[in-house]
Structure 1
Amino acid sequence: MPRVPARVLPPAFALAALTALIPLGGPAPAAADSIVVGGRPVSVADSPWAVALSSRDRFGAERAGQFCGAVAIGPTTVLTAAHCMGRTVLGGEASGIRDLRVIAGRDDLSGPGGQEVPVRSAWVNPDYDPGTNAGDLAVLTLEQPLPGDGVIPMAAEGDAAYTAGNEATVYGWGDTTGYGAYAATLHASDVQVLPDSSCVRAYPGGPRGAYDASSMLCAGDTAGGRDACQGDSGGPLVADGRLIGLVSWGSGCGSPGSPGVYTRVSAAIGWMPGEP
């Protein structure tokens, strides 16, 4: 089963690219209650730092043009995956996407409410490697502060939140089944932080991809059924009330023995730009 290099919803004008995101043999069947593969709907009021990236110009009006997830770590600072800001996804440079926005505080992307805040600038990690997905992180600066105090702290190196076996939750608006059923409302799935040894065993290199413990962590359910999926890229992985990862890549969605791989936030704290 070939590797799924990125968990992003491709542009409406380039649906053929979807074949590059789904294993040739098809994703493993998800659990009967699949939501963000194997989870549940949640209210944005309880997780206000979970925000959606949107461009109606590139992705159409359905679901308000959502194509990736993101997470607010400051009033005007949002993190997402570097690959969400790439030409393959956006069809051009991020600086040229005039309607690139963050949607916050909206329970249903297809409905009213909440706030759509324009992105003023996007900083993409210059060391991001699209071949391995190492360093898969981008920092977006917003035109105006997000409402309220809906930000989440980041877990630094050595934080117990990264401990293998710890319970964590991944959030997103992506595929809830592994078969292209994208959510209009925010969903969450409970997963477990896995030891690096398990992640290396799952992704030793080759067509399945290579796990790099210095910049990545992985989480999931050893039996499968709980995972992030296409459209969730850049969304938050949270443990003990702190941000520990960003949805990055994986093989299939909720497949046994193929946990989701996340950008390790602690590895990025020292070099990414902060609040202006």
Structure 2
Amino acid sequence: MRRPLARALARPLALAATAAVIPFACAAPAASDSIIVGGFPVDVADSPWTVALSSRDRFGGTRSGQFCGGVAVGPTTVLTAAHCLREDVLGSPPDEVPDLRVVTGRTDLRTDRGQEIAVRRSWVNPEYDDVTNAGDFAVLSLAEPLPQDSVIGAAAAGDPAYAEGTAAMVYGWGDVTGGGDYATSLRAARVHVLADSRCERAYPGGGGGGVYLADSMLCAGEVLGGRDACQGDSGGPLVAEGRLIGLVSWGSGCGRPGSPGVYARVSDILTKLGWGTGGVEGAQAAP
């Protein structure tokens, strides 16, 4: 199962096929976060708020140093997964990584299109629990602002976008097969919001895995599997009805029947950050 690290760069991709719960980030410099399984290529111009987290020193330059995903919710504010910024992923605390960047406007990571913007400040949820995977979110403050049309609105509590059965899209540059096949260009997959009860049955806790907690997590995928986020997609956006509802967080394997993807619930993030029900417009990166 995916670990919270960047549905995650934390372990060799071969481990993504085991029953261990692993985040979707990448801890080993040689591995990169997983990609969308069962998805299709998209142009970043159609989802300009989808960004890549990059450290060339740590992860190499072949794919622009990408190791996780993120989503722009304000001109200088990006949300991502807390496990993406762990010291065992980056090699040091995020504020001590001199080349930590957010890559924006770049569909194909092998090109120099778009921008690589320095991270001015980072804030990792201090209540993030790497045992249950609860509270898996972090906030990055950018050194330069993005255009307003590169920002997406967030769905507050009670928004119908969270309803069971709602069609959603997840975006990322992660593993496309679950076997370490990382994408060089942005991909997306169509999934559906699933009942909390389905994830509660799939992830009851115990055995070293995570625990599905409906208040802070969101369950999404397909009942029969086949379409899902995967290693390297961690921190990337889950979008429904034009609004951000989740951040790629963790799961068991990629696209497996009975093992849906688990996302950090954005309405809970808004509450914890004190950004209120009106979204994150004008929000500061570090609470």
Cα RMSD of the aligned pairs, angstroms, is 1.9
TM-score normalised per structure 2: 0.87
Distance in 2 (alpha carbons) for counterparts of 1:24 and 1:196: 23
Aligned counterpart, 1:66: 66
Aligned counterpart, 2:82: 82
Aligned counterpart, 1:201: 201
Distance in 2 (alpha carbons) for counterparts of 1:68 and 1:169: 17
Please tell me the residue identity of whatever aligns with 1:203. Y
Please tell me the residue identity of whatever aligns with 2:182. Y
Q: Please state whether the residue corresponding to 2:272 is helix, strand or coil.
A: coil
Please tell me the residue identity of whatever aligns with 1:187. R
Please tell me the residue identity of whatever aligns with 1:91. G
TM-score normalised per structure 1: 0.90
Distance in 1 (alpha carbons) for counterparts of 2:199 and 2:64: 35
Structure 1 position 232, deviation (Å) = 0.1
Aligned counterpart, 1:166: 166
Aligned counterpart, 1:6: 4
Please tell me the residue identity of whatever aligns with 2:48. P
User: Does 2:276 align with 1:275?
Assistant: no
1:24 to 12, 18, 26: 18
Please tell me the residue identity of whatever aligns with 1:146. L
Gaps of 5+ in 2: 21-34, 276-282
Q: 1:1-276 to 2 correspondence within 5 Å?
A: 3-6=1-4, 8=6, 9-10=8-9, 17-18=11-12, 21-24=15-18, 36-207=36-207, 208-272=209-273, 274-275=283-284
Gaps of 5+ in 1: 12-16, 27-34
Distance in 1 (alpha carbons) for counterparts of 2:251 and 2:91: 23
Structure 1 position 131, deviation (Å) = 1.1
1:19-56, CA deviations, whole angstroms, 9 ceiling, x for partnerless residues?
Answer: 68524379xxxxxxxx7101110011110000000000
CA contact (8 A) 1:7 1:232 kept: no
CA contact (8 A) 1:80 1:139 kept: yes
CA contact (8 A) 1:136 1:248 kept: yes
CA contact (8 A) 2:247 2:266 kept: yes
1:200-220, CA deviations, whole angstroms, 9 ceiling, x for partnerless residues?
Answer: 011111234310001001100
Distance in 1 (alpha carbons) for counterparts of 2:19 and 2:64: 31
Please tell me the residue identity of whatever aligns with 2:271. G
Please tell me the residue identity of whatever aligns with 1:126. P
Q: Please state whether the residue corresponding to 1:139 is helix, strand or coil.
A: strand
Q: Please state whether the residue corresponding to 1:140 is helix, strand or coil.
A: strand
Please tell me the residue identity of whatever aligns with 1:10. L
Aligned counterpart, 2:28: none
Identify if the C-alpha distance between structure 1 residues 21 and 242 changes in structure 2 by more than 3 Å, giving closer, same or farther. farther
Kindly, what percent of the aligned residue pairs are identical?
Answer: 62
Q: Please state whether the residue corresponding to 2:133 is helix, strand or coil.
A: coil
Please tell me the residue identity of whatever aligns with 1:263. A
Please tell me the residue identity of whatever aligns with 2:226. G
